[in-house]
Structure 1
Amino acid sequence: MNAGPTAAVPFTFSDRTAGYVVGRRGREVELRTLDGRLVTVHLTDVTYAHRMRNLGEPYQDATGSMDEHLRPGAFLFSYGPVYPEGGELHYQATELIFVTEAGGTPPYERAGWWTSQLGRLASFYRTSQFGTGPVDFADYRTEIRAGGAKTGRHVQETDTISRMVYGMATAYMLTGEEDFLDVAERGSRYLHDHMRFSDPAEDVVYWYHGIDVRGPRESKLFASEFGDDYRAIPAYEQIYALVGLTQTYRLTGDPVIRADIEGTVRLFERYFADRKLGGYFSHIDPVTLSPHSDALGPNRSRKNWNSVGDHAPAYLFNLFLATGEERYRRILEHTFDMIVTHMPDRNSPFVNERFHADWTPDTTWGWQQDRAVVGHNLKIAWNLMRMNATMPKREYLALAERIGATMPDVGRDPQRGGWYDMVQRLPERGRHPFVWHDRKTWWQQEQAILAYLVLAGHTGDQDALLHAREASAFYNSFFLDHDEGGVHFTVLADGLPYLVGDERLKGSHAMSMYHKAELAYLAEVYTRLLVHREPLDLWFRPGAGADFPQRLLRVAPDVLPPGRVELESVRVDGAPHTDFDARSMTVSLPDTGDRSTVRVRLRPVRS
């Protein structure tokens, strides 16, 4: 028997809204989204609320105090079903996450937020790799599951070890925790002993892709094992081999580390550099060391963002900070001159990222095609500002500010918050379509936070500071794994974790400690010293034979705008030390014959 027509079940979906409270009428809360639209969110009798929290902090329920939090100006995230009805969207709130109260300081701008987060991350990776006992890098594994357990993969990749070393060295710099420095130094020594190949005839150092530790003897993997770079030596692998070594050298002055860094820089200048047209080639042949070998296939005679630009944040800035040597500043200058000369595109808000030898854009290479990686554009912006601080050029500032002004409209999610991954570089039907998905990765959030935080710190731009705060809110609300530790690789557009394939891992070819630690360190530095104008303590651990030029320990936290920050005080092994220069932020190391613990306090220069 036919029961007759029934009402169709309306199409619904669940989604998140990021916004500022404008007003409230009973159970209806009006929010202003990040792009200025007004959205009404409907509360129900089962709506629950909590405050955003840092790693290691307990759940902070706010359900019973929602009325106190839902005041004009408060920033929050709402999540729940969305009902498309009559051409409009009706938002129902199941969950509210309160980030700030009206007019309040975001919790991630309070002194120590990022330091605490980095300490928790360092503890997670230390325990995952080595347990709580002695550190032996023979036990290191590239892949780490979500909860910290290792997978069965036996290859130790050079880059991921170096990235972990960076994270541990940086954690020591912010916390003074000796165990983190121990991991960094043991990792640096392991890289030297197991992953390094020194060619005395050419006076250069290469780094193996990794080693396979199955069986009684380790098997060296010279060329890359990955599809994009298979059987080639990619520049980015050599670059990231230095990221942890350079940060550790910055703390210790270890002459062995310095020699390895110098040998690798000679490798770049001798075999990757294009002496005719500038920049660095992306790959060289492992036999001939030529970037023009036919064996390189689609990587023959190519340049890309990574091979040209990644030198700067990965090791060059930190090498310059540690030594003050002009030759490194000149390499940095060349790198950024190539970026501002060849990468901008008048027809797109995004830079070109891949090039032929003559700098003609390559829009047909592999997965990249004519597509934009949002994070690469943002990374260019904050590193241009650092370069502009030490060598001002109008081209550097202009491109950084152009990227900062244009990226929110094409790379940010104005409804939910957070920043996207990959989009088409040229618009179609008035927008830049997603390439594969609208998910968000952890490292691209880092680039957004730092792009706008560094812009705000250097220029005082309040719009940039707002973008930095909103990006920080999304990252701290949805990427921190409060259940198992660490940071999620990817979340869906609405912030829910995406735990599929390699993206469920906490350690992989793509993820170690580098981006998370770099974010925590620089966010603490810029927020404390330049945004809120508060002092900051850092730790260093130079040895008796520290290989620093003029025996000067350089403690500038980053390449900051000149005259904005100075060194207030120094303690060596707990005792006051007065032999330092406040403005140059250098410490004359005492000739004690012993290793020293140096704690410095930096402060904003008083107006």
Structure 2
Amino acid sequence: MAKAVERGFTFSDLVAGYVTAHHADRGLIDLRTSDGRTARVTLTSTTSAEFLRNLGDPHLDATTHLADLLVTGRLVFAYGIHYPDGSFDAKRLVFVGRAAGEYAAEEPDWWIRQVGELARFYRRAQFGDSVPVDYADYRTMLRLGGDKSDHHVQETDTISRLVYGMASSYLLTGNEDHLDVAERGTEYLRAHMRFVDRDNDVVYWYHGIDVRGCQEQKLFTSEFGDDYDAIPIYEQIFGLVGPTQTYRVTGDPRIAGDIDATLRLFGKFFRDREHGGFFSHIDPILLSPDHESLGPNRSRKNWHSIGEHAPAYLINLLLATGDRRHADMLEECFDLVAAHFPDPSNVWLRERFHADWRPDSRWGWQQDRAVVGHNLKVAWNLMRVNAIRPKQAYRALAERIGRAMPAVGADRQRLGWYDVIERALGEGQRTHRFVWHDRKAWWQQEQAILAYLILAANTGDKEFLRQARESSAFYNAFFLDHDEGGVYFNVLAAGTPYLLGNERLKGSHSMSMYHSAELCYLATVYGRLLVRGEPLSLWYRPRADGFRDRVLRVAPDALPAGRVRLDTVEIDGRPHAAFDPESMTVKLPDSSADLTVRVQLAPATGGTR
């Protein structure tokens, strides 16, 4: 740990490390940080201690048990004050588990309880206690405590992201109210944000609607600065994120029709038939990716246009349908990722490209800069696509990313992951420079947790599991808002919430339950089934007209073949025997009413840890 410079000042900071010694008689702790450095921490008469707690849990004090808790090998966060002489006095300790080697986030229901609390926060913030919920009340911007701002544009993507979170909560908890919020949100999207182009046989999703006054005003093109007055593919992609997750639960054939029509939009207007992949933007008049009005987005490709299909909707669509064409599209996209994103001269991936796949290092704010979370997101989605279409190139790149990122994108003294970093080192520099700040965003922590958890689940590598645990510990210690609910957008490097400007909000163009719920869902699936070898129950609510073949596909994610099986099925509370354990499919009975299906999945082999 770097010592304070002898300049006569003090500063507050955080140190995270594993206890190597506790000198109780001198009130000292020795810690080993994630990258192996040593740190000495002084305990004072005012040092307090607590256990990590989940959303909805009460504060649990540990101050009087320090002698028993400060044992070798335990991971602990120490927040305190650096003095000019190099000493560090701890004022607050956070223990991530009850015993050395235990992690609270590995409790079987940790993430399930968390997604339920997140859903309750957003349900209350957007709709209060109203039954049924009315999406006319929905607002994109939510303040810290969930109060609505005066901003009146309902963005399609943020509604869709809320719908995703509610549907995911239902999958894990069976909470009927959360499914109702998801279904009504999907209906609202179809009624207000969908444009059916019958001439071209496609569906577009509006950027949003302005709901001021008596008449809503449709906003066809993006209002967001990077994409202003264009149709960006990522907004169309995220328009599908919530409906697709809802479709997994209900099989609503109208949602399936919308998804297929949006896929036709991608194929007709965004696809690059010469060089492969999809363009990032098209102009709203000619629907061309090569129009001069697009400016720096003219004939460009990026992570969103190539890889974002997978996590946002395409893997979930494949899970729900089993349709080979969706697997083909996933393979096509990630062949392109594996071929063009790696940079032989740099550990960071390239993210932006011209039409012919020449790297674009001059675009807008990104220039030659790396988004830490995008690098990590590539890794965990490569492993998921590898489970569908196994290729050594996918696995090798995912592992390369996983091994390289801690040294350049992680905070090895405090834990947690940074935001945007210069890809190249300047003359004489040994450390990659931050572009704007050293704050840590909630969605970047999600990418790290899932990258290392999914890598650990697939490889059994203990170092990947350690990174997953450390990333999860930081997120759960510092991003959960125990006072107002939900999670913070950003924290300072030392874990203190950063509550200025848009980063004070709980709802915005960027935040609406998607990333936090996706984390809860996938961390539950991989942590329980593949890492710890525990069973998992999921809930579905097939409509009477849902799933045309009357086959419900309940594989929880794109998992390695043979690792998980379907163990038991209940329909409307009664055992149901018509299912295939290996393919994880359920033959639904004919019914004139919606069905409630609860399935239990079990690991076919033990966990990896």
- The equivalences for 1:375-394 within 5 A come to 375-394=373-392
| 1:258–1:547 Cα contact (<8 Å) kept | no
Given the alignment, which residue of 10, 13, 16 partners 2:14?
16
Shift of 1:108: 0.5
Whether 1:553 and 2:552 are equivalent positions in the alignment is yes
How do residues 390-469 of structure 1 correspond to structure 2 at under 5 angstroms? 390-428=388-426, 429-469=429-469
Question: Residue 113 of structure 1: which of 110, 113, 128 is its match?
Answer: 110
Cα shift at 1:547 = 3.0
Question: Aligned letter for 2:438?
Answer: D
The answer as to 2:521 corresponding to 1:524 is no
Note the C-alpha offset of 1:140: 0.3
Contact 1:72 1:102 in 2 (8 A): no
Aligned to 2:505: 505
**Alignment equivalent of 1:330, drawn from 328, 331, 335:** 328
Structure 1 residue 53: deviation in Å?
A: 0.3
| Mapping for residues 169-208 of structure 1, pairs under 5 Å | 169-208=167-206
Structure 2 CA distance, aligned partners of 1:211 and 1:130? 18
- Give the one of 357, 360, 365 matched to 1:359: 357
CA distance in 1, matches of 2:312, 2:88: 43
Assess if the C-alpha contact under 8 Å between 2:533 and 2:605 holds in 1: no
- Please state whether the residue corresponding to 2:438 is helix, strand or coil: coil
Distance 2:547 2:220 in 1: 29
2: CA distance between counterparts of 1:551 and 1:345? 46
1:102 Cα deviation from its structure 2 partner = 4.4
Does structure 1 retain, via aligned residues, the 8 Å contact 2:7–2:84?
A: no
Which residue in the other structure is 2:143 paired with?
145
* Match of residue 133 from structure 1: 130
2:456 and 2:7 map into 1 onto residues whose CA distance is 49
Q: Give the whole-Å Cα distance in 1 for the aligned partners of 2:531 and 2:88.
A: 35
Structure 2 residue runs without a partner (length 5+): 1-5
CA offset at residue 132 of structure 1? 1.0
Alpha-carbon shift at residue 588 of structure 1 (Å): 0.3
AA matched with 1:299? N
| Distance in structure 2 (CA, Å) of the matches to 1:126 and 1:177 | 12
> Does the CA contact (< 8 Å) of 2:15 and 2:413 recur in 1?
yes
Give the aligned partner of residue 570 of structure 1: 569
Provide the residue aligned with 1:33 in structure 2.
33
Alignment check: 8 A CA contact 1:16 1:416 kept: yes
Matching residue's letter, 2:112: T
Structure 1, residues 252-296: CA drift from partner, whole Å, max 9, x if none? 000111101110011011111111111110100001000000111
Q: Is the 8 A contact 2:296 2:363 kept in 1?
A: yes
- Which residue identity lines up with residue 241 of structure 1 in the other structure? G
> Which residue of 2 is the match for residue 604 of structure 1?
603
Work out whether residues 251 and 543 of structure 2, in 8 Å CA contact, stay in contact via their aligned partners in 1.
yes
SS of the counterpart of 1:100?
coil
One-letter amino acid of the structure 1 residue matched with residue 559 of structure 2: L
Q: Please give the root-mean-square deviation of Cα atoms over the aligned residues, in Å.
A: 1.0
Partners of 1:219 and 1:133 lie apart in 2 by: 25
Contact in 2 for aligned 1:441/1:489 (Cα 8 Å): yes
How far has the Cα of 1:104 moved from its partner? Answer: 3.6
The CA deviation at 1:83 is 1.7
SS of residue paired to 1:408: helix
**Displacement of 1:226:** 1.4
State the Cα deviation string for residues 501-530 of structure 1 (Å, max 9, x = none): 000000000100100000000001111101
Shift of 1:606: 4.2
Q: Residue 357 and residue 195 in structure 1: after superposition, are their counterparts in 2 closer, same or farther (change >3 A)?
A: same
SS in structure 2 at match of 1:487: coil
Code of the aligned partner of 1:312: A
Secondary structure of 1:372's partner?
strand
8 Å Cα contact 2:51-2:98 kept in structure 1:
no
SS, match of residue 90 in structure 2: strand
Q: 1:293 aligns with which of 291, 294, 301?
A: 291
User: 2: CA distance between counterparts of 1:539 and 1:191?
Assistant: 24
Distance 1:9 1:159 in 2: 49
Contact 2:96 2:102 in 1 (8 A): no
- Give TM-score, length-normalised by structure 2: 0.97
1:346 to 344, 347, 352: 344
**Partners of 1:424 and 1:434 within 8 A in 2:** yes
Whether the 8 Å contact between 1:283 and 1:300 is mirrored in structure 2 is yes
Separation in 2 of the partners of 1:377 and 1:70?
Answer: 36
1:605 and 1:394 mapped to 2: Cα distance? Answer: 24
Determine if contact 1:74/1:101 at 8 Å carries over to the other structure: no
SS across alignment from 1:480: coil
Instruction: Please state how far the C-alpha of 1:80 moved relative to its aligned partner.
Output: 0.7
Instruction: Provide the secondary structure at the position in 2 that maps to 1:257.
Output: helix
| Secondary structure of the structure 2 residue equivalent to 1:538 | strand
Q: 1:348 deviation in Å?
A: 1.0
1:222-237, aligned counterparts within 5 Å?
A: 222-237=220-235
Distance 1:104 1:35 in 2: 18
Could you tell me how far 1:101 is from its partner in structure 2? Answer: 4.4
Deviates more, 1:181-190 or 1:8-17: 8-17
SS at match of 1:198: strand
* Structure 2 CA distance for aligned equivalents of residues 261 and 530 of structure 1: 30
In 2, Cα distance between the equivalents of 1:499 and 1:165? 26
Alpha-carbon separation, structure 2, partners of 1:10 and 1:69: 34
CA–CA separation in structure 2 for the residues paired with 1:473 and 1:132: 33
Contact 2:71/2:100 (<8 A) preserved: no
Q: What amino acid maps onto 1:481 in structure 2?
A: D
How big is the shift at 1:497? 0.1
Partner Cα separation in structure 2 for residue 461 and residue 558 of structure 1:
20
Distance 1:225 1:510 in 2: 13
- The counterpart of 1:241, out of the listed 229, 239, 242, is 239
Q: Which amino acid aligns with 1:48?
A: S
* Farther off after superposition, 94-103 or 299-308: 94-103
Which residue number corresponds to residue 3 of structure 2? none
- CA deviations over 1:30-50 (Å, ceiling 9, x no partner): 000011111100111111111
SS of equivalent residue, structure 2 residue 263: helix
Match of 1:264 in 2: 262
**Counterpart contact for 1:486–1:506, Cα < 8 Å:** yes
* Alpha-carbon distance, 1:431 to partner: 1.6
Identity value in percent: 62
- Could you list the runs of 4 or more consecutive aligned residues of structure 1 that deviate by over 4 angstroms after TM superposition? none
Residue type of the partner of 1:125? Y
Residues 406-435 of structure 1, C-alpha deviations (whole Å, 9 max, x = no match): 000000000000000010011231221100
Q: Distance in 2 between matches of 1:261 and 1:139?
A: 26
Aligned counterparts of 2:509 and 2:293: Cα–Cα separation in 1: 24
Aligned to 1:5: none
Q: Distance in 1 between matches of 2:377 and 2:56?
A: 29
Query: 1:4 corresponds to which residue?
Result: none
AA of the residue aligned to 1:562: A
- How far residue 306 of structure 1 moved from its aligned partner, in angstroms, is 0.9
AA matched with 1:47: T
What amino acid maps onto 1:517 in structure 2? A
Say whether the 8 Å CA contact 1:73–1:102 is kept in structure 2: no
Q: Deviations over 1:533-584 (max 9, x none)?
A: 0100000000110034x32100000000100100000000000000000000
Find the residue that maps to 2:203 and give its secondary structure.
Answer: strand
TM-score by length of 1: 0.97
Q: Distance between the aligned counterparts of 1:547 and 1:24, measured in 2?
A: 60
Paired with 2:261 and 2:267, the residues of 1 have a C-alpha distance of: 10
User: Matches of 2:315 and 2:461 in 1, distance apart?
Assistant: 24
**Counterpart position of 2:540:** 540
CA distance in 1, matches of 2:112, 2:483: 20
The one-letter code matched in structure 1 to 2:105 is: Y
Distance 2:458 2:399 in 1: 11
Deviation at 1:105, TM superposition (A): 2.2
By how many angstroms is 1:156 displaced? Answer: 0.1
Deviation readout 1:78-121 (Å, 9 max, x if unpaired): 01111233xxx321101101113443421110110000000000
When residues 291 and 185 of structure 1 are mapped into structure 2, their CA distance, relative to the original with a 3 A threshold, is same
